Structure formats: C-alpha cells, structure tokens
A and B are shown apart, each in its own frame.
Chain A
Amino acid sequence: MNTENGQPLLEVRNLKKHFLTQKKLFEEQAPPVRAVDGISFTLQAGETLGLVGESGCGKSTAARTLLRLTEPTSGQVNFFGTNLFGLKEAQMRSLRKEMQIIFQDPYSSVNPARRVGHILQEPFEIHGCQNKKENAEKATQLLEHVGLTSGHFNQYPHELSGGQLQRVGIARAIALNPKLVVADEPVSALDVSIQAQIINLLLDLKEKQDISYLFISHDMRVVEYFCDRVAVMYLGKIVELADNKQIFNSPQHPYTTALLNAIPSVESGRIKQKAFIKGDIPDSTSTQRGCAFHNRCPIKEKQCEEEIPTLKEITPGHHVACFLKH
C-alpha cells in the first residue's frame, strides 16, 4: 500500500483509556482506573511489535482501544495517516477489513452454535460478498491455508482441539487480507507442543500475506522469538521501547531486567537469580506519586518517588522511562 511515502502503518499518539468505577450513593466518585495512560508508538508496515507486561498492565485494553473496540478517553491513532477516532461508524466498519484481532481463548472467541465453515464465511458476507458458493470456496481455501482440512468445514467448535480452534480464529482474522493483525496472547492458552505450531503458522502468514503484527504476550521467550521490536508496559505506560536485540541483550529499565531474570530457563549453566522484585503490581487506581514502579524498584532514588519519568531516547531506537538511565 502507500508505504512509499514513508508513512507508518500505525501511529499511536498519547493514547489514554480511563475507566470510571460506579459511584456509590453518598460516596465520592472514586478516582478512575488508568488502564492505558498515555502510550505512543509506531508500527511500520511488515514489522512485528511485541507488547509485553504483567496482567493488569493495560496491554489488552491498549489493543482494544486502538482498534476502536472501546472508545478512547483521549489520544490519536493514525492508520495509514487516517485518524481512526475521527471516523464515522460506517467508515470505521469498512476499514476493519484492514485490521483484525486474534484472541487468547479460542473457545470463547467463536460462536459455539455455528459450524466452522459458517464462522469463516461470515467476514466475506459482512464485507459485501453475498455469493454463497464463492464464500464457501474461499472458506475452504482458508482452512487449508492455516493447516486444517476441508473436513473441518462442517464441524462445530467443540469438536476441535484448542490448537485447531485457534487456527480457525487465525483463519477468520486473515480472511480479508488485513494489513494489521493484533494478536492478543494467541498462544497462552495452548499446550507447549501446540504453541510452536501456531507461532510457526503466524510467521508463515506474515511472509505470504505481508501482515504486520502487534503481538501481545506476557511470555518473553515467545516475544524474543517472534518480534522485531518490543514495548514493555507497566501500569498503563510504556517503560521501555527498543529493538529486539537491545531489549534482550541490554535491557535498561529495571522492570525489563526483572522480567527477563524471572523467566525460568531450561538450559543448563544458568545462574539462578534471586527474585529481587518483591510485591505485586499496584492497582491502577492508586494515586501514588512519582514513577509507577518505584515501590518495587531495587535501584530507586529520591527523585523517583516525586517525579514521573518520561520515555526518552537514550541510544538510537532505544527509549526508556527511567531517571537513572537518562
């Protein structure tokens, strides 16, 4: 498409999504949950960007908001230069062909009462192709494309295994040749031996169909294998954004370092690291001052408790939000 003019495929600027909790009678309105609190990044065509962090850090909300599956609180998302939040619903619907999502749990993301074939024909019907025979043919092709057979066409979701059903979810996402696929923990619910199959499939599709992925995961091992660049999120903010190599070989933010050290490894000769990060992720309503990570940070200083660090580029392409690295 129009990548020649150097326009990124996706440009997210200061995206925020706050949720208000229900106000109780006679009580003051509680502060909002700052699920996504001002994140910015770009995704070039053909690139795979990983979004990692612990549960509750806002990665899934960020994905849903930038696809406009929920309305943002503020910010801007440009898709090939078009501001998504300025579009009318009908315009948005036709643009959805270009941006699709794969969900974590394959069972709850398909209609259990529809046959696989029907699930795969639906994207074509919604986007204006009413020829039943043609749609069925395309659906069968899709099945083969993702490593299933035409025999699965008339089966119901409960007759498929988790890995097979995730292939259906992927087939549905790529049906209309999207430019962007958001994969929200696509392998987390699968068995280890099946995980590798699905990751290989996503890589093959990327090459064949020229898809760019926003890959959301909490598994750093999978992210290192799969992604070109990585953004690490903590409590609604991006704390580090860099190339795959930079993140995994020279992580700068203490949170990234902690995440990497905490991964148990199969290889021998690994020196066991003490879990030096204590405590849980605070909940995102907390109104604590300073860097969101300071109460768990092993290297914090006075400044960290008072001011909020911004994301700064410290070496080309390597952005970190930490005072000690600026």
Chain B
Amino acid sequence: MSSPELNIQNLKVSFDTPKGKLTAVNGISFHLNQGETLALVGESGCGKTVTALSILRLLPEPPAEISSGKIFFSGQNLLSLNAKAIQDLRGRSISMIFQDPMTSLNPVLTIGEQMAETLLRHTTMNRQEALQKSADLLSRVELPSAKEKLTYYPHQLSGGMRQRVMIAMALACAPRVLIADEPTTALDVLIQAQILELLENLKKENGMSILIITHDLGVVAEIAQRVLVMYAGEIVESGPVRALLDNPLHPYTKGLIASVPKLRGLNKKGSRLEEIPGNVPSLDQRPSGCAFHPRCAWAIEKCKTQKPQLRKTDNQRQWSCHLEPGSL
C-alpha cells in the first residue's frame, strides 16, 4: 500500500483564554489514506473542527497554539512551512468546505468573482478562462443554468445551492485532499442525500481523499470507509466503519449509536431511548482519568484516576478503555 496522503502525529492544540491555557486537541494521531473517506465523529466541543483547521493552519495564532505534533503531507511537515508556502497549498492541494455556506461565502461578491479568485491565485489562467472554468465546475456539481449563476450573489441562492458553490470552489484546482467540516448539517435530508452522492462521485472521478467531520452517524455509515471517534480532545476509538458501528468497543461510541432512534419500528415501542447521562465536559473542567468516566455506565474505580492507553487489535481497530472487549 502507498504511504498515506495525510499523516498526523501527536497533534496538540491549545488556546489562551481568560480561564488560562485550555487544551482543545490533546495529542491525537491518525492518517488519511489515498482515495479514502475518513470520518471524524464527535459532539460539539470535542475538537473536531480545531483538528481540521490546524491541518490548513487556519487557526488564529495566538490565541491558538499548536504546541506539539507533526502533520505530514506529501513528505513535508505542514507545521514547519511558512505562511506563503501554506497559502500555495490551500485550495490547490488541500481544500476545505465549511458547515455554513452562507457565512463562508462573501456576500458582496458575485459567485463568479469568488470562484475565479481561487483559480487566478493558483493557476496561470486569465480572468476570462477562470470564469469559463467556474461555469464548468458549477455544472459539474449539478447546479442548473451554471453560467447565469456566476452573476448571482450568495443571498440569491438556496442553502443547498450555496453548498454546491462551496464544493465547486473547493474542487477548482483538483485538490488531493478535501476536508469537509459538517458539509450537510445545515441542509435538509433530501439535499443532504444529493450532496453526499455528489461528493462520492467527485471522489471517484478525481481520486481524492476526503476527511469528513460530522456528528451524524448515519452520514458516516453512508459514505466513510473508516471512522475516528473523538471525545474531549482525544480519539477514543477508531476503525473500519461497519465493524465500528456494528460492534463498538468504547462505551462512548456505543452510547452515541444507541441514542439515535432507529427507523421503521426497530425501536422497542414504549421503551425509552438509551441516553448518555450528563453533559459534554467543558475544556476547563476536563475530568481526571478517563475523560468519559462521569458519564460512563461501566466506569470502574481505575477509570477515575488512570488514563486508559490506546489499545490495538490486528484488524485496524483502536480504542482507549480500561474494560476488556466484550464486556459492554
């Protein structure tokens, strides 16, 4: 197998706040293989977005600080590059799409101007060619009457259309890696299904790799090959998608899966939904030992004091929990 597109080692990100230095991402390591869709799952505040933003160095430093770690992309460590070199990479080799397509488009520029900007920055095209290419890209993401849409402003498009524009823009320079941060969360289910199908088709055509961040396990099951589950700034479980969803090893993963109602009568009628008690801890109140222990139904004495090590099985699965597998 070829070497991974993206290899992240021991990434640690913290923020300077009035409450002191808070660690949002606490030493995580993972890799993204070529042509793979990798899902990063977790609830709000667990560090998913911070992880994604650090890859492209989009976090404002300060207050953010990448205090340790390495991010390898085609042999170079992104964290040691200067601002100019990173800018050359953004949008060309690694692109990102954001959750809210309204706030990530510039409201006072037309779609055409915004799309051409990326192409003018990274290629030798002139304005005319860039606009032509933009129209082509828009029709590739199945936006009807693409040429006309170039003259539109973002507010003239619906949420689904704006997200298509974002995707088209991200794909403009045929990047090798696409980072999609909750790309469908703001959209309705019918539009979500269209966007997911679109991402899958584009991935096949371009041979790119996708890192998708989501909290929706349904979306994960639909498009990812591998999953990373994050909790309180750490990866608590990872593995191939079907194995992880059918047989979760970490209590948090198990809880997440159980708290989603199942469709078409798979719920026991009249029974309560399984819930994870308590709340996601805030960064300044990280519990001791295993961060999940106050909410865990299986927690033992050891969990309160000792942080579990990451354990591995031979079939690509990793998890960090003191309990023996099979005891959930």
- Interchain nearest-CB distance for B260 vs A (Å): 6
Q: What CA separation (Å) do A321 and B43 show in the bound complex?
A: 39
Check if A224 sits within 8 Å of B43, measured CB to CB. Answer: no
- Interchain nearest-CB distance for A271 vs B (Å): 12
Q: Which of A43-51, A78-86, A95-103, A274-282 contacts B (4 or more CB under 8 A)?
A: A274-282
Check if A161 sits within 8 Å of B279, measured CB to CB. Answer: yes
B47 within 8 A of partner (CB): no
Q: What CA separation (Å) do A224 and B280 show in the bound complex?
A: 26
Check if A264 sits within 8 Å of B264, measured CB to CB. Answer: no
**Chain B residue contacts of A261, Cβ below 8 A:** 193
Check if A54 sits within 8 Å of B188, measured CB to CB. Answer: yes
Who on chain B is nearest to A193 by CB? B276
- Interchain nearest-CB distance for A189 vs B (Å): 10
- Interchain nearest-CB distance for A11 vs B (Å): 28
Given A272-B222, A275-B194: A192 touches B215 (CB 8 Å cut-off) = yes
- Interchain nearest-CB distance for A98 vs B (Å): 27
**Chain B residue contacts of A55, Cβ below 8 A:** 159, 188
Interface of chain B residues 211 through 267 with chain A (CB within 8 A): 215-222, 242, 245-246, 255-267
B1 within 8 A of partner (CB): no
Check if B192 sits within 8 Å of A262, measured CB to CB. Answer: yes
B161 within 8 A of partner (CB): yes
Given A192-B43, A193-B275, A280-B161: A221 touches B262 (CB 8 Å cut-off) = yes
Check if A268 sits within 8 Å of B245, measured CB to CB. Answer: yes
**Chain B residue contacts of A273, Cβ below 8 A:** 193
Q: What CA separation (Å) do A35 and B189 show in the bound complex?
A: 20
Check if A248 sits within 8 Å of B264, measured CB to CB. Answer: yes
A39 within 8 A of partner (CB): no
Check if A54 sits within 8 Å of B263, measured CB to CB. Answer: no
Chain A, residues 191-227, CB within 8 Å of chain B (1/0): the string is: 1111111011001000000000000001011101100
- Contact residue among B221, B255, B262 (Cβ-Cβ distance under 8 Å from A264): B221
Count of A-B residue pairs with CB < 8 Å: 131
Check if B279 sits within 8 Å of A192, measured CB to CB. Answer: no
**Chain B residue contacts of A264, Cβ below 8 A:** 192-193, 196, 216, 218-219, 221-222
**Chain A residue contacts of B189, Cβ below 8 A:** 54, 218, 220, 259, 262-263
**Chain B residue contacts of A248, Cβ below 8 A:** 263-265
- Contact residue among B159, B264, B275 (Cβ-Cβ distance under 8 Å from A196): B275
**Chain A residue contacts of B197, Cβ below 8 A:** 274-275
Check if A224 sits within 8 Å of B263, measured CB to CB. Answer: yes
Check if A203 sits within 8 Å of B272, measured CB to CB. Answer: yes
B83 within 8 A of partner (CB): no
Check if A249 sits within 8 Å of B264, measured CB to CB. Answer: yes
A266 within 8 A of partner (CB): yes
Check if B222 sits within 8 Å of A196, measured CB to CB. Answer: no
Given A55-B188, A224-B261: A265 touches B215 (CB 8 Å cut-off) = no
Check if A260 sits within 8 Å of B245, measured CB to CB. Answer: no
B190 within 8 A of partner (CB): yes
B191 within 8 A of partner (CB): yes
Interface centre among A196, A199, A220, A222 (most CB of B within 10 A): A196
B273 within 8 A of partner (CB): yes
Interface of chain A residues 286 through 316 with chain B (CB within 8 A): none
Chain A, residues 156-171, CB within 8 Å of chain B (1/0): the string is: 0000010110000000
A258 within 8 A of partner (CB): yes
- Interchain nearest-CB distance for A252 vs B (Å): 16
Interface centre among B216, B246, B261 (most CB of A within 10 A): B261
- Contact residue among B144, B193, B256, B264 (Cβ-Cβ distance under 8 Å from A193): B256
Check if B273 sits within 8 Å of A275, measured CB to CB. Answer: no
Chain A, residues 168-202, CB within 8 Å of chain B (1/0): the string is: 00000000000000000000000111111101100
**Chain A residue contacts of B261, Cβ below 8 A:** 199, 221-222, 224-225
Given A260-B263, A266-B218: A200 touches B276 (CB 8 Å cut-off) = no
Check if B259 sits within 8 Å of A196, measured CB to CB. Answer: yes
Interface of chain B residues 8 through 53 with chain A (CB within 8 A): 43-44
Given A196-B259, A264-B221, A265-B263: A191 touches B280 (CB 8 Å cut-off) = yes
Who on chain A is nearest to B259 by CB? A196
Q: What CA separation (Å) do A248 and B193 show in the bound complex?
A: 19
B277 within 8 A of partner (CB): yes
What are 14 of the A-B contact pairs (CB < 8 Å)? A163-B279, A192-B215, A192-B259, A196-B273, A200-B273, A221-B263, A224-B264, A262-B190, A264-B192, A266-B221, A267-B262, A275-B194, A277-B190, A277-B194
Interface residues, chain B, CB within 8 Å of chain A?
Answer: 43-44, 142, 144, 158-161, 188-194, 196-197, 215-222, 242, 245-246, 255-267, 272-277, 279-280, 295
- 8 additional contacts, CB 8 Å, given A191-B43, A193-B259? A54-B188, A200-B275, A259-B190, A264-B219, A264-B221, A266-B217, A275-B190, A275-B197
